[in-house]
Structure 1
């Protein structure tokens, strides 16, 4: 066991980034290390309950400086109005450098974890602190970021053992999304890669069992070792997990095991009203009980006013559309839930894979398109909802995707279920998650010890 270290954590101010960073903080704290977690003030209230070691994980709230275009009071990407980008948040995070340097000077951490703030390695070196690039996006996404000039598909790399296949092309709306991703996300890509290449330790939240080929490609391109942390979420059997809220537990208890379709599209997805209504009608058309938890569509102040005409009456007793936050992992673990329709964001992807639910993806952003390709076409553990070239998905295409995995006699449904169960078995096999975590922490301890002894 290496000596105990003190780590700063400075993740992107988005819940999809902060939550996995907090899971990592729990694992480090469990092994006796101390963490100072830098985050916005309001986010602390939402994240505190996920900290299992309050004596070892100290939240240090930061006040974002004003940035042109950033609404007053906005602190995370979830606070941004429609049609604005996460660039505003990252600009504000860049302006916090002086504050963070002051904290590093006083508290003298051994390590500083970051993902999208590329100046952290330079700052860390000035103070003799080791920088750790910890990426929570998929390795496929990082691989694309490393393959300049590639417009469509996965990286065009030599077809040698250990390299990913480049057979997958983006078509229709996928191509549109990917084009948007590669253009508007050039800055996002650049920040990831600059940080990854300049950091003392490079790491990705993934495992070789799913993305081994992409990880090998990244190591070859960066000419350095990349540590894998595994999925980095609480062990499924963790005793401290609180029970599901009564409201949802009682409602779900009314239905047969494996019969309910649960749909959630993440904190950053805001649908247009007509697409939101089409989503609701698609769920109705499945004929199955369903729970939809999505953000209010654009221009609507309540869920009720946005619903299709007559919808509530028609689905009364078997369908709920909810505009607020729900405890996604706890809902997925309820025996009545049999299908998870989601956007394939990083957290939802892992939660899908360790659940017993059939998986249906409606990716919303370019990195989600990449991960959907990986899971639906390479690993064949899920299906995706068909979209038109314009990006629109119809109620029929949503219904068909759900029915294709929920109908007992469906060939594709049985195929993805078999493949998913095999992969889940691997992911939850005793020692896999803890094995990745142990190796990662040992590597960090060695890094800190080398610094102290040199």
Structure 2
């Protein structure tokens, strides 16, 4: 593998990229890698570390006409992870910490690769679940696929280690007074990994230290932009004690249609169906790559859509084999909503759907990728957070940015179908102030990635800093 290239007699600076093997984490970091290669192609050589079964995720990037090398390392065996599993999508939520811990066993082979390389990388950019990469003898930049406010909260949790007054009260409120503008949250909405932490367990101590390493790392790259999260970006700079925090978002995908999974409806059909609808009159419903609604939630959502009278596109997850009660839809629902509802079983071309002129509202679980994509589209968000940082994202969207309204909350809550119908109808018929705010935030997002935008300046600043690390060696 050639890792040194000459352009005008200038040796390129080598950077290593290490994504965490979860779809919602890999995609934004690989999209950032593409942007990095395009913007810094004359000065950077980029290697992406991947495990064998996740190599298909690189297909689009490797075929994009940019110079990207790959480093394939075997996935470490782990007693809690079945043989052959290398992606969080193939594990239950309880397996997430095991994945973090298992990947830590790549430290030795990765360090060996770095130290024996004829032109080793001068820095590594790795996901915020890979904090141990801070200890690889080269500067480590954290990549956050989540919001800047989430980074602030996670750093506070794992450094200060707050505890509940009443162990049995999940509604007890946790405050973050050091973080300006930060909302208060009940313990039930705090990071599941943090709430699961077991003091004294070596596996959990590794995870704790890994999160703490994020705050101690050389720098931070965030998929956000200053007009959206300026106060939290400034907090991170103060907290980390330096200015090496770069907001480079919104990180747009390589393509809107070519990175999904199996689907029941062709992309062209989805787009032509939308073409026949009025501007801003379609509600798009999707809950990300992992969330599967219960049967009761699915029935309530179907009823709400049916009662609302709105036009909609609904991406429905297939049932989970171990539990046939999940992911099912009302018998005959497709027929009853024919003409105004399009049901997609499986993957939907979300970016393209959100950007379509006909889509005016988006019922979302508030995963950060979905939030960013909705912001870029200028679409009103109807929030239904389920877990993890989705609660944080929802409060940011609804209470601070005011580009969304609450539809439901929680993984076990079954919404009232009549109330849901009202929310759907209002979202595409009323001239809500949130829709106006969404359009304004879209303009700010697009301005950030224009030639002289804040995120382009931050990306250039990041590249210049990395190059300076190479010159200092």
TM-score, scaled to structure 2: 0.81
Residues 169/242 of structure 1: CA separation in 2 closer, same or farther (3 Å cut): closer
Contact 1:271 1:297 in 2 (8 A): no
5 Å matches for 1:407-426?
Answer: 407-408=429-430, 413-426=431-444
Change (3 A) 1:79 1:215: same
1:218-257, aligned counterparts within 5 Å? 218-234=236-252, 245-257=267-279
Could you list the per-position Cα deviations for residues 42-67 of structure 1 after superposition, in whole angstroms to 9, with x for gaps in the alignment? 33324422456444112334432222
- Alpha-carbon distance, 1:191 to partner: 5.6
Partner of 1:94: 104
Counterpart residue number, 1:341: 363
Q: Which residue of 2 aligns with 1:112?
A: 124
Please state if 1:437 is matched with 2:446.
no
Q: Is the 8 A contact 1:3 1:445 kept in 2?
A: no
Aligned to 2:34: 26
Structure 2 distance, partners of 1:437, 1:248, is 33
Q: Does the CA contact (< 8 Å) of 2:316 and 2:327 recur in 1?
A: no
Matches within 5 A, 1:46-445: 46-51=57-62, 53-80=64-91, 82-104=92-114, 105-106=116-117, 108-115=120-127, 116-123=129-136, 125=137, 129-147=138-156, 148=160, 149=162, 152=173, 155-157=176-178, 164-166=180-182, 168-170=183-185, 176-178=188-190, 180=192, 182-184=194-196, 190=208, 193-234=211-252, 245-299=267-321, 306-387=328-409, 391-408=413-430, 413-429=431-447, 431=450, 435-445=454-464
* Structure 2 gaps, min length 5: 1-7, 165-172, 199-203, 259-265
Unmatched runs of 5 consecutive residues or more in structure 1: 158-162
CA RMSD of aligned residues (A): 3.2
Q: Deviations over 1:58-107 (max 9, x none)?
A: 23344322222323332211112x45331122122112223322332325
Aligned to 2:169: none
| CA positional deviation for 1:192 | 6.1
* Equivalence for 1:160: none
CA 47–343 in structure 1, closer or farther in 2 if over 3 Å, else same: farther
Q: Deviations over 1:371-416 (max 9, x none)?
A: 11011011211112134896333323432332332223xxxx5210
1:41 lines up with 2:52 in the alignment: yes
Secondary structure of the equivalent of 1:354? helix
| Alignment pair present for 1:7 and 2:23 | no
What TM-score, normalized to structure 1? 0.85
Whole-angstrom CA distance in 1 between matches of 2:75 and 2:28: 21
CA-CA distance at 1:433 after TM superposition: 7.9
Q: Which residue of 1 aligns with 2:263?
A: none
